[in-house]
Homo-oligomer: A and B are copies of this chain.
């Protein structure tokens, strides 16, 4: 992947949320950045920190983690390529949750100052805002998932979300490389590893998913989303028309 391609991925996420002027696009595409490769389970931001640089996720999967004094971990959000894990931290100045990678990741680091410059464009600020709101919807859907579904559906629902967000759901393709461990799925769903494992087995036996080495495939998408109570509306994959300021 070339340097500019990484930024284009990021730009794509923004444009999914609000139309950008050519000037705004250029402001994004001309950001300078450093690339860093990090391994799995690597901490990016710790609670209380106020990082002076901003990270974009170019490859891999990262997560926001909450912790209990007893030591158990709750993953509260997942980040996929194109996402901006540290966006809330930037605007609220100090982190209360930690960010860490779940798989090997490629990160782009942008200076906070440069990024804040781009916010001078109202359309960019609007896109960021709306992007944050979509993540808010994801968090609410996760609350429903964690709070009210039985374990197998939690796993199923999460798999569906990941598939859609990775862009693995188009036409007849429903498979994606999954670097995540079952422990990480358990942490995201609020269940134990053992139970996560049994849930995966249940999904396999039900013919809903298939595991081929490191790849996971959703065998029957229609049945899977019906069974997992998954409705991708909350991901707002298609940009709303007539919603923004620029549309009027």
Contact = CB atoms under 8 A, between A and B. Distances in A.
Interface in A210-239: 229, 231, 233-234, 236
Interface residues of A, number: 58
Q: How many copies make up the complex? A: 2
A142 B162 CA distance: 21
A175 interface: no
A70 to B, nearest CB: 8
B64 A245 contact: no
Given A77-B140, A139-B139, A248-B116, A91 B129 contact: yes
Contacts of A119: 245
Given A140-B64, A190-B148, A93 B233 contact: no
B240 A94 contact: yes
A129 B131 CA distance: 10
B74 A148 contact: yes
A69 B64 CA distance: 29
A12 interface: no
A26 interface: no
